[in-house]
Amino acid sequence: MTKRYDQFIFFSAGPVGDHALILDDANRFFESTGIGATIILKHYFPLLSGMSAPYPHIKNIEWESLRGKIAFKWLLFSSIWRKNCFVLVLPLKHPFYFKLIAWYVRFCTRSRMVGLNLEGSKTFPVGRGSASFLGKENIIPARVDTELFYEQANRMLLWLGCRPVSRPPTLAFVNDDAVPQKFNLASGAYIVMHLAASGPDRSLPAARWNGIIKVIQEKLPEVKIVFTGSKKDVRFVGSCIAGLPTKNLVNLCGRTESMQELLNVYAKAELTVCVHTGNAIIVNMLHVPTVMVAIKGVHMFNYAFNPLATILTATKDCTCDPYERGCTMIPYKGGEYMACVFNIPDADIVNAVLKKHEGK
């Protein structure tokens, strides 16, 4: 392919999982074309920028910083004579100021903004999707019900006249064998559990996790169990392990100092147990043996790209389809939980963990 564009420009709203997938897309576009990328980080925090460390061909611009605002304005201004390709890979609702940026790129520059369109669904009525401001010549349909995230990126590459990259989503990290030692762990000899989701309805009640962890402790008394999460997850994880023997429990919520340190914790685990949240995406992109307590109905974020993942989801009482009908919720002790997660039997989670441990 001739160098049709000077660079690709992606936008990341900031959640860890979405950012990891956008990073993979930026790297996929580079592998296909040899053209580097810039990612605009809307909400900056070190975990996101630190994720890009192994990718020298990908730059970050921090939207909220003064330096970032200047860099982004220069990027837009230079697009008048440069041929940049702005890429929208997530079918999101965009604020009005973003539409102004899109119109500027479309009508006032030599650059181009392309994206996926989802108009006509419950979430995106006609006139609310990307087609309304990008123009029909700059969009392709978003097939969230039939394609995985990276399959959509490959279809966009093909549409742009570029070679698709067939590999599954992968996240590189800076290897550091000292990380497990820092937390008194032995590589390949501990289980990581990430139990707190961005929305509590995507996880199980703490009391159920407590029972699951208790059984795993009894079955695997020699294996350390490590818990990851942010500082705000400390209370929930504390409830999940309340009253349990603490000898082989390691709570790392809020204790990892960088994204690369966290990635080393995940990559060197024997196996992980995750609920549907951003950390689950990065764990599976590392291709770690994983038990996924997953939600149903969002094919775009299906974890089947990880051949080492066991995906658990329940169909009982569940009609989940987030883009069309919404999700079936189960009320329980003052809270609500998604039926596709809540109705997974505790024994299924325990058995999946034991099976992976036996097959290591």
User: Given this model, what pLDDT does residue 16 score?
Assistant: 86
**Can you give the three-state secondary structure of the chain, one letter per residue?**
CCCCCCEEEEEECCCHHHHHHHHHHHHHHHHHHCCCEEEEECCCCHHHHHCCCCCCCEEEEECCCHHHHHHHHHHHHHCCCCCEEEEECCCCCCCHHHHHHHHHHHHHCCCEEEEEECCCCCCCCCCCCCHHHHCHHHEEECCCCCCCHHHHHHHHHHHCCCCCCCCCCCCCCCCCCHHHHHCCCCCCCEEEEECCCCCHHHCCCHHHHHHHHHHHHHHCCCCEEEECCCHHHHHHHHHHCCCCCCCCEEECCCCCCCHHHHHHHHHCCCEEEEECCHHHHHHHHCCCCEEEECCCCCHHHCHHHCCCEEEECCCCCCCCECCCCECCEEEECCEEEEHHHHCCCHHHHHHHHHHHHHCC
Q: Are 226 and 193 in contact (CB under 8 A)?
A: yes
From CA 41, how far away is CA 241, in angstroms rounded?
35
Domains annotated on the chain, with CATH? 7-159 (3.40.50.2000), 178-358 (3.40.50.2000)
Query: What share of the chain has pLDDT > 70, as a percent?
Result: 89
User: Given this model, what pLDDT does residue 1 score?
Assistant: 47
Highest-confidence range of 147-156, 247-256, 333-342, by mean pLDDT? 247-256
Q: Tokens for 171?
A: 């996240």
Position 80 pLDDT exceeds 90: yes
> What is the pTM assigned to this prediction?
0.91
Position 270 pLDDT exceeds 60: yes
pLDDT digits (tens, 9 = 90+) for 17-54: 888 999 999 999 999 999 999 999 887 666 777 899 99
Position 149 pLDDT exceeds 80: yes
Q: Confidence band (pLDDT; 50, 70, 90) for 235?
A: very high
